Chains A and B, each alone.
Chain A
């Protein structure tokens, strides 16, 4: 009799404990622009979400919505998550900036984090990665590896982030190989395997033996593999299935440490609106394994460059640098400020062609 009673009390206590814990759960929401299986941008964000789940276990509940169009529908999707009791919401594409700002104004108690934007509020942070640091390493390897001295670049949209990447890669390719030439194709998409494959093929036909891409699918890798003797770099995720050739290295977005830290901040009540722009050092930008197709000495140089970028002893945009039109930009030893980088709308000297308008 006493035993049953004891057990009953214990069960009751346990039940209370679990329900109390359920209420303590921090709910974290994610809005994705693509499907979680895109193998690139959204895939990496979702890996970050899973890392949050793995790190906090029962203390956290995550929800997500994929393939959310950028615009009016996004506002509803974000509102929906806030209504359903999310404490922290990550909106992971530039096009969600205005909707996130609008919803953040309505839900003062919910914390918002918008990726790659520039508008903030007391409960809205922004975060992005200094991908251009990774581009510097790519440019170095590309400049050393090319035999035709023609490097193809599949660009997505003419926005500062993409232009920054082109400039950074070009500066570092040029540094090790003064004869190098960039051919740039604007695909006007982040993810369209057919278009990306066409662009890669066109660049290869124009003599490029290195393809850099700022689009998210593996189609350019496949096109390069077919052509043979062309090297590529993984974008957003490692794309390691194409190693060691054509993929010789990659830029990997690693959102997990940031997502875990921000979730922790919400739990601790220490969350504040910040503008985070992290690079190789804090681990937001990763450089994928440099494959055996790259000679040891080049690999060592690339890793040294990576180390210098990581500890901050070297900035990819260090003078003397001129703009494409020949006007002075950075003096000897001067590093670019973040404001200029964030709004970058010009090529550096030596790149041919115009930025489409």
Chain B
């Protein structure tokens, strides 16, 4: 019989090595999967991991990594704060949508006026939208003891309905011949989240993601609030004795993650996506959960994990169109990454013991 036994002291080295090991195992198993599909496994893996960075068209893909990675990092940083304290915001996708709606709403309300104040107002509105949407599960949890996992997740579907209603109704482009979707914010200078340097991929969302990483790092390592967050996650009882007020922590963690997710949505709708449309959200809020854990809930780790995730997306698309790999195989490949990370994690924290079945 195999059984798992908790290691008294998990190895520090392995804690940091496991994400890398998980990536390597994913590469090997992914190669096997692609080979089973009749594709050249080496070509597939190099297309996914090498081509976007150093291939012929890397000049285009490298900036795309930032564009794809920024919302993931921004959302994951917010989520990681709560996850460390045992506060589970699973509904970042919904907060992302609402942030995009409030942000775009402010921009569209000013159309066609041109002014420098419009964009900062949109940023504030985006953060506020995400924050208020996250306050719903927070307040319900504090007031009625509801489970924030369920409430925040359910609110994603509410947000999706709201998005569809906005794209078909209030925010519909009056010059769009009756088709759903708002005006294109990229064609409205004051509201456009443009590249700061042409061709670099750097837009305000990327800048915001970097600032969030730095702030989260300082918060967790240098600030009393960060200490409270870590303490609550590791020893809730001790935290209460140390004077942590759980209610404030819930409000702070859900609020911050909501605001950051809202910001991500706002930067996306004003930049890369350009318009409020029915299919605006593509799962960043859920993928960010993987990114947060892949990055060990550590700000720097999340930054790297976000970029890695972006790489598998962009490389995966390349593999699809160049090698004819089915989209499902790429999704499977990304799923493997989380699966192996969790598997390797188990072995970091537990050891496998062989025990003989008791003789009756």
Contacts and interface: CB of A to CB of B under 8 A. Distances in A.
Interface stretch (A4-12, A79-87, A141-149): A79-87
A157 B180 CA distance: 8
A29 B179 CA distance: 25
A336 B324 CA distance: 44
Contacts of B152: none
Interface in A29-87: 29, 35, 63-67, 69-73, 75-77, 79-81, 83-84
Contacts of B181: 95, 98
Contacts, number: 87
A84 B179 contact: no
B169 interface: yes
A160 interface: yes
A356 interface: yes
Interface stretch (A257-265, A266-274, A341-349): A341-349
B282 A71 contact: yes
A342 B178 CA distance: 9
B321 A71 contact: no
Contact of B321 (A65, A98, A157): A65
A94 interface: yes
A72 B272 contact: yes
Contacts of A188: 164, 278
Interface string A131-172: 000000000000000000000000001111000000000000
A357 interface: yes
A285 B320 CA distance: 30
B80 interface: no
Contacts of A160: 177-179
B277 interface: yes
B67 interface: yes
A118 interface: yes
B323 to A, nearest CB: 10
Given A77-B321, A158-B168, A94 B178 contact: no
Given A65-B320, A84-B322, A71 B177 contact: no
A98 B274 CA distance: 8
A62 B274 CA distance: 29
Contact of B279 (A35, A95, A345, A356): A95
Interface footprint category on A: 35 or more
Contact of B272 (A35, A65, A75, A357): A75
A115 B290 CA distance: 35
B334 interface: no
Interface string A204-230: 000000000000000000000000000
B168 A94 contact: no
Interface string A80-107: 1101100000000011001000100000
Interface in B47-87: 57, 60, 64, 67-68
A160 B272 CA distance: 27
A207 B279 CA distance: 33
A345 B178 CA distance: 7
Contact of A76 (B64, B178, B280, B324): B64
Contacts of A84: 57, 321-322
Contacts of B60: 79, 83
Contact of A98 (B57, B164, B184): B184
A71 B273 contact: yes
B327 interface: yes
A66 B280 contact: no
Contacts of B318: 80
Contact of B280 (A63, A71, A343, A345): A71
A72 B277 contact: no
Contacts of A102: 186
Contact of B168 (A64, A67, A157): A157
Given A71-B279, A357-B169, A83 B57 contact: yes
B36 interface: no
A76 B177 CA distance: 26
Q: Which of A35, A63, A95, A345 has the most B CB atoms < 10 Å from its CB? A: A95
B345 interface: no
A26 B234 CA distance: 61
A117 to B, nearest CB: 8
A69 B282 contact: yes
B317 interface: yes
A342 B177 contact: yes
A32 B123 CA distance: 33
Nearest to A33: B279
A159 B178 contact: yes
A76 B335 CA distance: 22
A98 B177 contact: no
Q: Which of B68, B318, B321, B327 has the most A CB atoms < 10 Å from its CB? A: B321
A343 to B, nearest CB: 4
A274 B293 CA distance: 50
Give 9 closest A-B pairs by Cβ, nearest first: A72-B272, A67-B327, A343-B177, A69-B282, A345-B178, A72-B273, A70-B279, A65-B321, A357-B169
Interface of A: 29, 35, 63-67, 69-73, 75-77, 79-81, 83-84, 94-95, 98, 102, 118, 157-160, 188, 342-345, 356-357
9 contacts: A35-B327, A65-B320, A71-B273, A72-B272, A77-B321, A98-B181, A157-B180, A159-B179, A188-B278
